[in-house]
Structure 1
Amino acid sequence: MRTSMLSKNKSTTSHLELFNFYKDSSLARMINFINEAIVVVDSNGTMEMVNTNASSLLGLSRDELLSENLLNFINDETGQIQSHVIQCLDNAAQNALETPPFEVSLTQRSQSHRDISVEISVSSLPEELSSSNSLFFCILRDLTLHKAEYAALKRKAETDFLTGLANRHKFSDYLSSQWTKCSSEGSPLSVILIDIDHFKAFNDEYGHIAGDRCLKRIGELLSLSMPNRDTLAARYGGEEFAIILPNCASQTAQLLAIRIKRHLAQLSARHFVLASNKKLTVSMGVATNENQRYENITSLLQAADTLLYQAKSRGRDQICFL
């Protein structure tokens, strides 16, 4: 039965001797010329060879790494990832094939001890390169920059450029996920739709630049009015906004709508056009799915939209809810 991969089956001295044995070999020269972070490990995961890129990635010198086990760097309290690495080494040993890359979180041993996302690929080495030892070739690819770039692109794709709120696409995705979650938990889900009254006339009178300033300011006020991180404010259309309130009962949603309307009532055209004191007003519709009132997302949105237009038909500058 294999001993734990977290235990060291060789002393530091034996690792240094093994490295000296390989230092003039083609394998050692090869990994030093590869423009990737490369670690060669034995069947227990103990590092036998390390190139400069791997040393920089893991935050220790090459000599220090030769006395370490690769699994000691994996940040996973459950031990599931370590077990997966063990399985990958077993597969590589038995089949002499590369395993599919997998993502892990590694802790750098530099002063910051920060965690980084890394993709690991494991493959077996031919016997002529691994001598009498069973050695395995591990490529470590730092995903930190890639994931940061992906997160930035994802935020950009989900954000309305003008207001900084979620866009319609993000609103739809989030409402769908929260509908599923709240339905399974038996929790209420509320939606508020907000429309700026006579916004076309505002644009015609003061210009689109002032209109854009107005939309941006309203977006800022809505962001500041969100009660918790689970809520989402979005730009739903041109001058229309929407708010998703998971786990929010109808009475709470109505109170929030009243508070938001009070904040928006403090705005006037003079915030965007110096020569005018005309007040800005909004109409709002509030609908809540409680006790399975609505069959699906569409019916919930239709209810909120109907209430919004009810508020507009009654003279605007008001909130309608069931």
Structure 2
Amino acid sequence: MQNRKNATSNPTQLFNFYKDSSLARMINFINEAVVVLDANGSIEMLNTNAANLLGNQRDALLGENLLELAVDETGHVQSQMMRCLTNASSNIIDSPPFEVRLATTEFKKSGLSVELSISSLPEELSSSNTLFLCILRDLTLHKAEYVSLKRKAETDYLTGLANRHRFADYLSEQWERCDEDNLPLSIIFIDIDHFKVFNDEYGHIAGDRCLKRIGETLSLSLPNRDTLAARYGGEEFALILPNCSAQTAQLLAIRIKRHLNQLSARHFTMLSNSKLTVSMGVATHDQNRYESKDALLKAADTLLYQAKSQGRDQICYL
């Protein structure tokens, strides 16, 4: 291979310098977006996949510095990329692939999310100039799939509310946040009265319609985006209300109960106009009232069963 120092710095001529090399032929056969960088991060070569990913013509990208395409005002990402180049030059590959946002034609401001990995090239491929192989993988589809799977893993299929797993995680998050900021945290438990009898009389299809309609009603009754409604199990539902005082939680419980009581069996069976009722328990953590989130949950659960034992169709709170 001829010496690169004799090649001009013009991007087109720079590409012509490399185009017949074994390295150029190799990266064009790799089914990945591949960029070849020098020690400063400047793009010496790239294949068609990389050009398409970065949304520009190959000739226009030659000579550009990949570090300058990184979208990060703090400079942390650029520092990490430079550190990888330095390590790779010493044959020390101690950092796994990492996520970077790169400015492209389509994603100029927000940046396209890619996974980036850097490794050194053998001297016979680098000639007299040390070069590095950089592989870029588009994370857009991966992230969309992850978000979709995460949503499914955290959602109750029938009602569309959060499931028990998401409820537990969110309660832990909000317990720590409210405790740190000295804010109240309220829990509302809701149980459909005599739901087993309803299921036995009208069938599970009607029962599922009932649960779904209650889920919809709860979703429409949430006071703000920080409130989480979940199907806690079977015919039991639960609300997490961050920064919600006992009085506000009680008023919300009264309003929700009124909305649920407006539903009747006719909505689900077309056979009866019997009234649908629920029992509710409301507990609020404020001023260090409970020592743990589990104690708060237990209090709300105890109040729910107190409402059921006292005749159902009522709200109990401390």
Q: TM-score, normalised by structure 1?
A: 0.92
* AA partner of residue 179 (structure 1): W
Aligned position for 1:62 = 58
1:1-322 matches, cutoff 5 A:
13-95=9-91, 97=93, 99-110=95-106, 115-322=111-318
Read off the aligned partner of 2:98 and give its amino acid letter. F
Cα 1:24/1:98, change in 2 over 3 Å: farther
Deviations 1:159-214 (Å, cap 9, x if unpaired)?
A: 11110111111111111121122112211111100001111111111111001000
Helix, strand or coil at the partner of 1:48: strand
Moved more, 37-46 or 111-120: 111-120
| Shift of residue 244, structure 1, vs aligned partner | 0.6
Contact 2:38/2:132 (8 A) holds in 1: yes
SS at match of 1:306: helix
Question: Contact 2:50–2:136 (CA<8 Å) still a contact in 1?
Answer: yes
Query: 1:96: how far off?
Result: 5.5
Query: Structure 2: which amino acid aligns with 1:192?
Result: I
Distance 1:261 1:235 in 2: 16
Distance in 2 of aligned mates of 1:188 and 1:281 = 28
CA distance in 1, matches of 2:269, 2:91: 73
- State the SS of the aligned residue for 2:233: coil
Contact 1:190 1:287 in 2 (8 A): yes
| Partner secondary structure for residue 187 of structure 2 | strand
RMSD: 1.8
Name structure 2 gaps, 5 residues minimum.
Answer: 1-6
Alignment check: 8 A CA contact 1:191 1:287 kept: yes
Identity of aligned residues (%): 72
The question of whether the paired residues in 2 share the 8 Å contact of 1:102 and 1:119 is answered with yes
Distance between the aligned counterparts of 2:119 and 2:197, measured in 1?
67
TM-fit CA distance, 1:16: 2.4
The separation in 1 between residues aligned to 2:56 and 2:269, in whole angstroms, is 60
Deviation per CA, 1:41-98, whole angstroms, max 9, x where unpaired?
1122111101011011111111111142212322212111011111111111123647
Question: In structure 2, do the counterparts of structure 1 residues 52 and 242 end up closer, same or farther at CA, with 3 Å as the change threshold?
Answer: same
Structure 1: unaligned runs, 5 residues or longer: 1-10
Per the TM alignment, residue 111 of structure 1 is displaced from its structure 2 partner at its CA by: 8.0
Which residue of structure 2 aligns with residue 8 of structure 1?
none
1:286 CA displacement: 0.5
In 2, are the aligned partners of 1:99 and 1:123 still within 8 Å (CA)? no
- Aligned pair count? 312
Pick closer, same or farther for the CA change 1:268–1:137 going to 2, 3 Å: same
